[in-house]
Amino acid sequence: MYTFLLLSIPSAVICAMVTDKSYGWASFIAPLVIGALAATAACFIKAFFIFSGHLYTEEFFHNMRYLLLHDTVLPVVLCALFFALISKDGADYKAAALFPLAGAFFAVAVPFGVLHGAERSAPFLIFVKPLLMASLAACVSALARMACAVAAQGKKALCAPLLLCAVLCLAVPPLAETAWYLQYTAWKWQLPSALLVAGAVALHLCARSMSPARSPSPDAGDSRQEAASGSPDSSPEKPQKDTDF
């Protein structure tokens, strides 16, 4: 029953890493490890040093504020700031690394929070919440990557709306979970959940199309391909030099 809870977020992160043609999967190992270690440390502290859990009330904004701060804002912002400080890579790589960074954090923290909670068998927590958190990581990374792309094109005025959308995405998982917990009408949490998941796929594809492809020394790669295929472009050079001599 918990297979989806445990494997859905890691599967999404690994799929994004393997299919990224700009940097390659190996370049995202560092943010992946950092996110997993940060989540492990946070779960360890919460399990052994924080003994008082959150008490849910009937007040919507009280519950949403707690989930917004502890489930989305603090993990995403702190992990992003830490990685931005220690990484010396470009802005586009840092934005792309947000997905494996935050995804690895959620891959550890979300199952821990669900399995140590009072409603660990709730279908929403097992199936919907992992999708929401994986989609959140994808949306924030894609929007940050799009902001870097438009800034590089000199359209810096578009960065603010994109970053504002990223901030709004942080509120969707807490909003959906609070509406579910308070037993609101199902569409009140199903609609924002579906929009976030669909938006994650669309934004992820759009960000990849806007991001410049980065392949090491493309000229060398072309020459290696020509040499391997025995293309006639490289062979006439030697006879031409002989005739000139």
What count of residues does the chain have?
Answer: 245
In the structure, what pLDDT confidence band is assigned to residue 219 with cuts at 50, 70 and 90?
very low
What are the C-alpha distances in Å from 159 to residues 7, 155, 244?
34, 8, 57
What are the tens digits of pLDDT across the range 114-150? 998 878 789 999 999 999 999 999 999 999 999 998 9
pLDDT of the residue at 225: 43
User: Is 144 within 8 Å of 95 (Cβ atoms)?
Assistant: yes
pLDDT of 244 over the 90 cut: no
Instruction: In whole angstroms, give the CA distance from residue 169 to residue 20.
Output: 22
pLDDT of the residue at 243: 42
Across all residues in the chain, what is the average pLDDT? 84
Residue 142, both tokens:
């894609």
Please tell me the least confidently modeled range out of 168-177, 195-204, 230-239.
230-239
As a whole number, mean pLDDT of residues 84-111 equals 93
Q: What's the one-letter identity of residue 190?
A: Q
pLDDT of 241 over the 50 cut: no
- Residue 29 CB neighbour total at 10 angstroms: 11
Instruction: In whole angstroms, give the CA distance from residue 94 to residue 140.
Output: 12
Percentage of residues in the chain having pLDDT higher than 90: 60
pLDDT of the residue at 152: 87
What are the tens digits of pLDDT across the range 37-95? 999 999 998 888 776 666 778 889 999 999 999 999 999 999 999 998 998 888 889 99
Instruction: In whole angstroms, give the CA distance from residue 192 to residue 185.
Output: 13
pLDDT of 106 over the 80 cut: yes
pLDDT of the residue at 104: 96
pTM: 0.82
pLDDT of the residue at 226: 46
pLDDT of the residue at 52: 60
133 or 19, which is more confident? 133
pLDDT of the residue at 14: 94
pLDDT of 220 over the 60 cut: no
Q: Where are the domains of the chain?
A: 3-214, 219-245
